[in-house]
Structure 1
């Protein structure tokens, strides 16, 4: 009976570890990533990747610049997920390391594309680490 109870409690802990977690709001001049969450996918689903979703908002709709979210996993460069000028776009994406069973470290940030003559402005990146 004690073994069964231990397995049951252990199962609850695993379920909590793999549930959606809040991403602190990310913003920079002209863009915001709000109502965002992330989930570490199990190795049997979505390549064990860093799964995130939320709303990407163009907060300066009349400036003529696009907005985007960047996310990456350890050992790889940024993946870019574009928004739309003057709109709010819902993103639901997974980034992963194709050479591994699952990813353990990831980072995310939001940016405004200011064209080719000026550098883009981006929020500070948030880093995440898989706990299991």
Structure 2
């Protein structure tokens, strides 16, 4: 996602990421993977619960292995797991005034919202179009 940061900035938005490990884990992750966007952490996972992001233990299956194979082919290498390995994330678009325009929980590893869908939400917001 970070490689798309400039495209989001062009729409007046900033990318950030939230993990569930310790502050030290987040700092290590940011340093080792050269993450250039702000990275926050919520070890309590309260924000995950509020957003409806699930904790799933039984996530392995053909879809997960296919996503892993595609990620591997694209050059992504999984580092050591930090934080709660079973906590699923997701994507959201928030705007000033504590308004959430878009919330999409992930269904498992490698399940991400299309970047274009996130950008469309921002374009619509910038044009004053209702969501």
Larger Rg: 1
**Higher percent of residues as helix:** 2
TM-score normalised by the chain length of structure 2: 0.28
**Higher percent of residues as strand:** 1
